[in-house]
Structure 1
Amino acid sequence: MSQVNSSLEVLTHSNRNIHHTLEIGDPEIGPDPKKVPLENGISGGLTGMLENFHIGTNKALQRNRKRLELLCYVILHGLLIGYFSWATYYFLEYSDSTLDTTTCSGYGFLMILFIFINFGIIYYWLIKPFVIPIFNNLLWKPLSKEISKLLTIRFVKLLVYLIIFAAIVIYLIYDTSDNRRRLIPAIGLTLFLIFGFLFSQHPGQINWNLVIWGLLIQFAFGLLTIRWDVGRNIFECLGNKTTIFLGYAMDGSAFVYGDYLVHEIAVFAFQALSTIYFLGFMINILYHYGIMQKIVVTIGEFLQLVMGTTICESSNSAANIFLGMSEAPLLLKPYLSDLTASEIHSVMTSGFATVSGTVLAAYISFGAEASHLITASVMSAPAALCYSKLLVPETEKIVATKESISLTKSEYTSVLDAASKGASLALEVVLGIISNLIAFIAFIFFLNGILSWMGELVGYTGVNVWSVERFVGYIFMPVSYIMGVPWDECEDVGRLIGIKTIINEFAAFKELGKLNLKNKRTKVIATYAICGFSNPGSIGIMISALSVLMPTKRHVVTKLVFRAFIAGEIVCFMTACIAALLIPEKLL
């Protein structure tokens, strides 16, 4: 046995020597001439020289990457200053327009963009790293610490809230002296809050500070966007610019599908859903360059400071003012898988409670006023956070914090890689939306078919035919009344809400344009009440979009989506209540 083992060891040793000889020293076979290094360590031939030049160039670029990026920023900023100076000279010398008439379209708008860009540069390069830490250490931290100590005293906190509440009551009593019926929506607002508390998942965990500040911010936004002309014009301009930007997606869609399907008959799948491709493309580019991270952190820090909500849910709520429920979550794509159940509920509630800039033109074509549509979305943003945290309070540890978001790096190899993958992800979202929309709306028509057949058997035909939206409309009659609608018009408004809830808001706005309502205030209240995406089709869109964007949290989405749907519906009613409280007769 030992002889056999010895023989095997000799054979193995011989094979290794033969293999080594063939690989290194055999003159007939020889080594690969392409792999022979020169004495200086550089590959031979022209190909080797080019390869090593490329490697050396890459190493030099990597060593000086930050300097080159800074140089690019300086050059781009210099070009911006040069162009702005050129535009300023042309405006002063040759233009007959004024700054007031060009604030949303011409030189005035360019000036606003120039100021914002330069402020952003100064903020991120000077104020945030140097000024804010000094301010925090010397003033804000000591002051906030003392304020926090005071507010921990229940009597002091209660006194502060009572003073704010008394100021609002005094203002409303004075402001509604021309029409005391305007105070009825205050009752409705109170009842909606009581409903949220009664059906809260964890009533003992509710953060009442967040709820109260959300309502105060909604009220303040109402004052700014309803009673202040400048604020109303600003948000109307932002909405118009968002609509123009998303309209470029329709141009791309028309090139692929044709003008007839996109512009003339406006097929939903080819027109409205095309914006998701464009946004996915653009947002991934912004993420690759780190711009979107800065936007998310900045907006989130502001709303987190004011309301106490987390960065992700706050940023999503702000984005929903102009973007839809499937577009806004794309801004948070890298962080969605880290969201808690309460944060996911907030994201969905914000989507159901608002409308996107892509559909405003359609609502306006039905007779709705643009200023009211923009105002409704702005006011519903903080209210969605407020009511979401009332129904589903936070009970988990927050993972997606300011620090984790700010440190997130792009995982893409190049800008083209980021753009193409953004468009590919958008395709999955669009396909999911289409499939769920067809299924949900078909189910509603199926229910209506059964109800209409049952109604015909007992004599309800024609205009009195039974349908889901008709029955839901009767349920919403009392809701219409507590929002400030006169009782003789509550049936019409309740039916509009029923159409919006069971079919969609497009059909509701179309029906609103046909109604001959006696009271202008009724039309305004109805506009706010139906200005939201809370309908069965949107449930399908929400499930599809978030399931693609956060597949590991699909079970949380499906569990909370109906609760978020109800919350979004009530947020629209709350916005209608505050609008009815604030709008005087002279603005109708």
Structure 2
Amino acid sequence: MKYVIAVIGLLVVLGLAYLASNNRKQIKLKPVILMVIIQLILSAILLNTNFGLIITKVFAGVFEKLLEYAASGISFVFGGLANEGEAPFFLTVLLPIVFISVLIGILQHLKILPFIMKGIGLLLSKVNGLGKLESYNGVASAMVGQSEVFITVKKQLGQLSEQRLYTMCASAMSTVSMSIVGAYMTMIEPKYVVTALVINLFGGFIIASIINPYTVDAKEDILEIQEEKQSFFEMLGEYIMDGFKVAIIVGAMLIGFVALMAGINSVFDLIFGITFQEILGYIFAPIAFIMGVPWAESVNAGAIMATKLVTNEFVAMLDLTNIQSEFSSRTIGIISVFLVSFANFSSIGIIAGAVKSLNEEKGNAVARFGLKLLYGATLVSVLSAVVVGVVL
């Protein structure tokens, strides 16, 4: 039965992308089918094999060590602030982002990260039917972040068509920054974080290829990566501050969104006898069902999905942590993979603002297709969840 639902889910996701396509005649089916198959294979390897278990353990082990190192710095500054046996969310989940941000900066400065991103991007361009720039951007987004990635290609922004710009923005919204992966791993199982990181990359290309098909002229497909000339210690200071800003911003957003959601839920419960999240749960329940969530669990799952869309993934992950005892292990896996992306309303402003700071005209273009961008990125999350539902 789960395979029938998976096929229906796949057809629904691709069908919804097809309905929003700006040029249906130009859709290239071969790369789309190939990438869906790759998603299925990679998901099966990562979740159902010993090899995948080893990869996940190594990945999780690395981040566990990084979080330990980060804890030493946090303890030096904030030691004694927490009560014995308690672990404040800000200290244990958000502040380690500062240390991981520094490591990313060092790898950038030593030109290790740009080399990896360019190499993987070139390989992906052979598979996805898109340009080298789009492929590089998809990989880079997952490593340096959805706003920072545009700095690395700022020289080329002014020359990009809206079609290419949409694909690049869609990749940025469909992935997550490596700097906050450790934070996710403290809330959901590392194997689902790793799986989502990998298959979302292909999912972004799949949905963009359907919603926004085009052909890149070989003469225009030039990859120029902008690198800022800084001393080592200038770079360290910049990445330390950037990481701290991310931690503070995420913390502030959590305070605002969690408080707002609690207030709205209370008002709806008082007036209608049902919370706002429960209403959203019923709206999103059919989507959860085609992702492979049992119908009995679909309303609660739908509420978490909707929370992620209207707030952010951190708020939704906290909700999942609080009620995961009500879900089967398969549902937890499917929802966890859905949550690992930046597909939410606030990301429209973040990406449009990042591009506008580098090129005002292109930033305005991103703002114009912002809702279509969120639509596509949400379909990527649903597609990844459907694929994982097949192998779990």
TM-score by length of 1: 0.56
1:233 aligns with: 54
- Structure with larger Rg: 1
> Which aligned pairs between 1:388-537 and structure 2 lie closer than 5 A?
388-394=208-214, 401-402=221-222, 404-405=223-224, 412=229, 415-416=230-231, 420=234, 453=267, 456=270, 458-460=271-273, 464-465=274-275, 467=276, 469-515=277-323, 516-517=325-326, 519-537=328-346
Partner deviation per Cα, 1:36-66 (whole Å, 9 max, x = no partner)? xxxxxxxxxxxxxxxxxxxxxxxxxxxxxxx
Asked if the contact 1:441–1:503 (Cα under 8 Å) also holds between the matched residues in 2, the reply is no
Q: Which amino acid aligns with 1:553?
A: K
Q: Percent identity?
A: 24
Partner deviation per Cα, 1:294-337 (whole Å, 9 max, x = no partner)? 33432222111122222232223234555543455555455555
**Following the alignment from structure 2 to structure 1, what is the Cα–Cα distance between the partners of residues 60 and 159?**
31
Q: Which amino acid aligns with 2:308?
A: K
Q: Which of 560, 572, 577 is the equivalent residue of 2:386?
A: 577
Q: Which amino acid aligns with 1:420?
A: E
Shift of 1:571: 1.2
Change (3 A) 1:284 1:514: closer
**Following the alignment from structure 1 to structure 2, what is the Cα–Cα distance between the partners of residues 396 and 429?**
35
2:368 aligns with: 559
SS state at 2:176 partner: coil
Asked if the contact 1:283–1:331 (Cα under 8 Å) also holds between the matched residues in 2, the reply is no
Change (3 A) 1:343 1:185: same
Change (3 A) 1:247 1:320: farther
**Following the alignment from structure 2 to structure 1, what is the Cα–Cα distance between the partners of residues 162 and 237?**
28
Q: Which of 26, 41, 44 is the equivalent residue of 1:205?
A: 26
Matched, 1:282 2:106: yes
Q: Which amino acid aligns with 2:352?
A: I
Change (3 A) 1:501 1:398: farther
Change (3 A) 1:203 1:447: farther
> Which aligned pairs between 1:358-397 and structure 2 lie closer than 5 A?
358-366=179-187, 368-394=188-214
Shift of 1:563: 1.9
Q: Which amino acid aligns with 1:539?
A: I
SS state at 2:298 partner: helix
Shift of 1:474: 1.7
TM-score by length of 2: 0.80
**Following the alignment from structure 1 to structure 2, what is the Cα–Cα distance between the partners of residues 545 and 260?**
38
Shift of 1:195: 0.5
Shift of 1:396: 6.6
Change (3 A) 1:579 1:353: same
2:175 aligns with: 354
Shift of 1:188: 0.6
Change (3 A) 1:401 1:296: farther
Change (3 A) 1:493 1:454: closer
Q: Which amino acid aligns with 2:34?
A: W
1:271 aligns with: 95
Change (3 A) 1:322 1:223: farther
Shift of 1:497: 0.8
**Following the alignment from structure 2 to structure 1, what is the Cα–Cα distance between the partners of residues 189 and 254?**
29
CA RMSD of aligned residues (A): 4.0
**Following the alignment from structure 2 to structure 1, what is the Cα–Cα distance between the partners of residues 227 and 332?**
47
Matched, 1:196 2:17: yes
SS state at 1:476 partner: helix
Q: Which amino acid aligns with 1:210?
A: P
Asked if the contact 1:281–1:419 (Cα under 8 Å) also holds between the matched residues in 2, the reply is no
Q: Which amino acid aligns with 1:313?
A: E
Asked if the contact 2:66–2:100 (Cα under 8 Å) also holds between the matched residues in 1, the reply is no
Asked if the contact 1:185–1:484 (Cα under 8 Å) also holds between the matched residues in 2, the reply is yes
Change (3 A) 1:305 1:219: same
1:297 aligns with: 118
Change (3 A) 1:317 1:235: farther
Partner deviation per Cα, 1:89-129 (whole Å, 9 max, x = no partner)? xxxxxxxxxxxxxxxxxxxxxxxxxxxxxxxxxxxxxxxxx
Q: Which of 10, 29, 41 is the equivalent residue of 1:220?
A: 41
**Following the alignment from structure 2 to structure 1, what is the Cα–Cα distance between the partners of residues 390 and 93?**
38
> Which aligned pairs between 1:144-223 and structure 2 lie closer than 5 A?
180-223=1-44
SS state at 2:363 partner: helix
Change (3 A) 1:182 1:519: farther
SS state at 2:347 partner: helix
Q: Which amino acid aligns with 1:186?
A: V
**Following the alignment from structure 2 to structure 1, what is the Cα–Cα distance between the partners of residues 203 and 197?**
10
Change (3 A) 1:349 1:514: same
**Following the alignment from structure 2 to structure 1, what is the Cα–Cα distance between the partners of residues 255 and 226?**
40
**Following the alignment from structure 2 to structure 1, what is the Cα–Cα distance between the partners of residues 81 and 104?**
22
Shift of 1:499: 1.7
Shift of 1:410: 5.7
Matched, 1:568 2:377: yes
2:164 aligns with: 343
Structure number with the bigger relative contact order (C-alpha 8 A, sep ≥ 6) is 2
**Following the alignment from structure 2 to structure 1, what is the Cα–Cα distance between the partners of residues 95 and 80?**
11
